[in-house]
Amino acid sequence: MNKTWWKEGIVYQIYPRSYKDTTGNGVGDIYGIIEKLDYLKSLGVDIIWLCPVYQSPNDDNGYDISDYRAISEDFGGSDAFDKLLKGMHKRGLKLVMDLVLNHSSDEHEWFKASRLSKDNPYRDYYFWKPSKDENPPNNWLSFFSGSAWKKDELTDEYFLHLFTKKQPDLNWENPKVRQEIHDIVEFWCKKGVDGFRMDVISLISKQLDFPDSPCPKDYGNTIKNYYANGPRIHEYLNELNKKVLSKYDIMTVGEGPGIDLNNGLDYVDERRNELNMIFHFDHMFIDNGPGGKYDPIDVALPKFKKVFTDWDEKLKGKGWGSIFLGNHDFSRMVSRFGNDKDYHLESAKLLAMLLLTMRGTSYIYQGDEIGMTNVAYPSIEDYNDVETLGSWNDAKARGENMDAFLKLVHRQSRDNARTPMQWNSSKNAGFSEGNPWLKVNPNYNSINVEAQINNPNSILNFYKTMIRFRKENSVMVYGDYKCLYPEDNNLFIYKRWDEKSSYIILLNFSNKPQALKTNPLNLNQSELLISNLEEGKFKSTLLPWEAQLRKLI
Ligand code: ISL
């Protein structure tokens, strides 16, 4: 495959609102990110993906944009942004913007005009429909809560919003909308940004007959069959690529509920000229039961491993993958896939090894490099996330036991990943002098950057080691991958190799020592390069959450 900077680079995702506040208003800002650029450089990452920093009423923390060309004043405005971009480029860091093109804010000028009258020139920028027998036009539910349609009294018609009522879906059928979008993308390319993460890009083409879902509460299938991968999706992406993206040396990664093994390659096949990478959620929605994320199920390790193996096989030689274990929409990876109680240090490092030894571009989410964990606020009042609150209200309306539901919120809320970054053990974890918009996780006294930076045994330093190793050994990026013992319930063991060298990665995903049933590939003759425990010689048993990277000789 072609070699490029975005395949080799390591991405670090920032949720600006929670990164570093320099004004004391409790909200992180761009100047805060600028303050931390040397920290990011020292970590060894190459590409920074910024969650949305545009002007927004923040109904969904910036994923509701009211002006695509303006930077939010809360974050420091366009001066701050220009300084950030300059500061990053000076340090050889690349900047990836988050683009939310499936929907805008209802406070965007387009929507304000669109709702005024049925014959307004902006009417067709969104989806408007009359009611059906006094009901919404169809039975679709929003991702967050309730119907996906809202009636607007002004014209007595409904508009579509797959997310909150303040996030009306844009009508990409309308060529004028597509032209506006091309212009916006071009605007940021000309500013010199290095790429885009495209929010819910899998949803931009709609099934225009808006068919009812036979089971709207079965979210997974409704999204796959009705909301995502619509009839013109690839035409739109191809057009965007041809008209704008292809003119610049930038990277694109599309986010996609509803993207799966059957359709994923179509988005990133290098011969198709659409996107460079996608985020699929096969491992992230893996514990969702029939009722979605608040109906979690247990997942055995073979199923988890299979996701990585199947996707690697699917994309191999044709398109490029994204490797991530967490982001701002999910629980913390160490709480979710590791053991944040008894094996915090070990399991956080094990997951780092997984993240940085797979084929595909690695994405690190802020705070994971120090092993930040889920939070368990005592009351729903402490939560902020619109999805969490919507699900809470739905559960209440269903008459559920709310004490039990609060426990589910502790496990599943998106706010788990949005607590302020833990810089040190001073007030508010060094995040803000003011009152943080979301309470800090009380464990910041023990889990913070300052405590880890000079400790050679820390999670942070393990990340640095892994990052350095990946960058010095291109086999970790481009080399082949094979999962060994796929059926093993506790061990994730895989090989990475190219024509020059071979490595084996051994990960014990359990709280118990695990004997290696067969000595895979003569490990006696291998050299231990990196381990998350302080030991050296190869044993035939891996300790709980032990992770080893070995070179085969
Ligand atoms: O958050 C989710 C599950 O916890 C997902 O269903 C999520 O809503 C979906 O992946 C889309 O996410 C993206 O678009 C949303 C925004 O709220 C998310 O933060 C964003 O990553 C709407 O713009």
Question: Three-state SS for 484?
Answer: strand
Distance 143 CA to ligand 1 centre (A): 8
Please tell me the predicted confidence (pLDDT) of residue 160: 98
Each residue's pLDDT tens digit, 125-154:
999 999 999 999 999 999 998 999 999 999
Q: Whose CA is nearest to atom 15 of ligand 1?
A: 63
Residue of 49, 64, 96, 199 best suited for mutating to test ligand 1, as the one with most atoms within 8 Å of CB? 199
Q: Which residue, among 112, 95, 269, 278, has the nearest Cα to 199 in the 3D structure?
A: 278
What mean pLDDT do residues 219-227 have?
93
Domains held by the chain: number: 4
402 domain residue, yes or no: yes
| Residue 363 CA, distance from chain mean position | 8
Residue 12 and residue 356: Cα distance in Å, rounded?
12
Local confidence band at 347 (pLDDT 50, 70, 90 cut-offs): very high
Cα angle 463, 520, 547; round to 5:
20
What mean pLDDT do residues 191-220 have?
96
**Statement to judge: residues 272 and 243 lie in one domain:** yes
Residue of 144, 200, 418 best suited for mutating to test ligand 1, as the one with most atoms within 8 Å of CB? 200
- % the chain with pLDDT above 90: 94
Ligand 1 close to Cβ of residue 387 (< 6 A): yes
Local confidence band at 198 (pLDDT 50, 70, 90 cut-offs): very high
**Statement to judge: residues 300 and 373 lie in one domain:** yes
Residue 29 has pLDDT above 60, yes or no: yes
Ligand 1 close to Cβ of residue 163 (< 6 A): yes
**Statement to judge: residues 361 and 489 lie in one domain:** no
Q: Which residue, among 494, 454, 501, has the nearest Cα to 475 in the 3D structure?
A: 501
What mean pLDDT do residues 176-203 have?
98
Ligand 1 close to Cβ of residue 414 (< 6 A): yes
**Statement to judge: residues 202 and 334 lie in one domain:** yes
Please tell me the predicted confidence (pLDDT) of residue 520: 66
Give the helix, strand, coil percentages of the chain, each rounded to 5: 35, 20, 45
**Statement to judge: residues 311 and 261 lie in one domain:** yes
Compute the CA torsion angle 335, 337, 342, 348 (nearest 10 deg).
Answer: -90
Residue 350 has pLDDT above 60, yes or no: yes
472 domain residue, yes or no: no
Ligand 1 close to Cβ of residue 199 (< 6 A): yes
372 domain residue, yes or no: yes
Residue 548 has pLDDT above 60, yes or no: yes
Average pLDDT, the chain: 96
Distance 482 CA to ligand 1 centre (A): 31
Ligand 1 close to Cβ of residue 200 (< 6 A): yes
Q: Which of the residues are catalytic?
A: 199, 255
| Residue 139 CA, distance from chain mean position | 28
CATH of the domain at 322: 3.20.20.80
Q: Which helix (H) or strand (E) holds 531?
A: strand 526-531
474 domain residue, yes or no: no
> Sign of the CA dihedral 258, 480, 48, 327?
positive
Please tell me the predicted confidence (pLDDT) of residue 290: 82
Residue 516 has pLDDT above 90, yes or no: no
168 domain residue, yes or no: no
- The residue whose two tokens read 């960058």 is 471
- % the chain with pLDDT above 70: 99
**Statement to judge: residues 352 and 206 lie in one domain:** yes
Range of the domain at 123: 109-160
Is the pTM for the entire model greater than 0.85? yes
Q: Whose CA is nearest to atom 8 of ligand 1?
A: 143
Distance 60 CA to ligand 1 centre (A): 9
Distance 384 CA to ligand 1 centre (A): 15
**Statement to judge: residues 276 and 340 lie in one domain:** yes
Answer yes or no: are the C-beta atoms of 457 and 438 closer than 8 Å: no
Q: Whose CA is nearest to atom 18 of ligand 1?
A: 329
Q: Which helix (H) or strand (E) holds 7?
A: helix 5-8
CATH of the domain at 154: 3.90.400.10
Ligand 1 close to Cβ of residue 257 (< 6 A): yes
Please tell me the predicted confidence (pLDDT) of residue 140: 97
Residue 137 and residue 133: Cα distance in Å, rounded?
9
Please tell me the predicted confidence (pLDDT) of residue 10: 98
Q: Whose CA is nearest to atom 16 of ligand 1?
A: 63
154 domain residue, yes or no: yes
Ligand 1 close to Cβ of residue 140 (< 6 A): no
**Statement to judge: residues 533 and 400 lie in one domain:** no
Q: List the end-to-end C-alpha distance of the chain, in Å, as a whole number.
A: 26
| Residue 320 CA, distance from chain mean position | 16
Question: Three-state SS for 138?
Answer: coil
Please tell me the predicted confidence (pLDDT) of residue 219: 85
Distance 329 CA to ligand 1 centre (A): 6
Ligand 1 close to Cβ of residue 329 (< 6 A): yes
Q: Which residue, among 494, 539, 11, has the nearest Cα to 252 in the 3D structure?
A: 11
Residue 443: other Cβ atoms inside 10 A: 18
Please tell me the predicted confidence (pLDDT) of residue 114: 98
Q: State the helix-helix crossing angle for 344-355 and 459-472, rounded to 10 degrees.
A: 20
What mean pLDDT do residues 376-395 have?
97
What mean pLDDT do residues 466-486 have?
97
Each residue's pLDDT tens digit, 59-99:
999 999 999 999 999 999 999 999 999 999 999 999 999 99
CATH of the domain at 520: 2.60.40.1180
Determine the residue type at 125. Y
Ligand 1 close to Cβ of residue 385 (< 6 A): no
Local confidence band at 519 (pLDDT 50, 70, 90 cut-offs): low
Answer yes or no: are the C-beta atoms of 106 and 168 closer than 8 Å: yes
Residue 536 has pLDDT above 70, yes or no: no
Residue 537 has pLDDT above 80, yes or no: no
**Statement to judge: residues 196 and 141 lie in one domain:** no
Residue 163 has pLDDT above 80, yes or no: yes
Distance 490 CA to ligand 1 centre (A): 30
**Statement to judge: residues 10 and 46 lie in one domain:** yes
Ligand 1 close to Cβ of residue 65 (< 6 A): no
Ligand 1 close to Cβ of residue 418 (< 6 A): no
**Statement to judge: residues 366 and 388 lie in one domain:** no
209 domain residue, yes or no: yes
Please tell me the predicted confidence (pLDDT) of residue 213: 96
Q: Of 535 and 536, which is predicted with more confidence?
A: 535
Residue 277 and residue 267: Cα distance in Å, rounded?
8
Distance 189 CA to ligand 1 centre (A): 24
Distance 518 CA to ligand 1 centre (A): 42
Residue 521 has pLDDT above 80, yes or no: no
**Statement to judge: residues 525 and 454 lie in one domain:** no
Each residue's pLDDT tens digit, 305-343:
999 999 999 999 999 999 999 999 999 999 999 999 999
298 domain residue, yes or no: yes
Answer yes or no: are the C-beta atoms of 523 and 504 closer than 8 Å: yes
Residue of 50, 51, 63 best suited for mutating to test ligand 1, as the one with most atoms within 8 Å of CB? 63
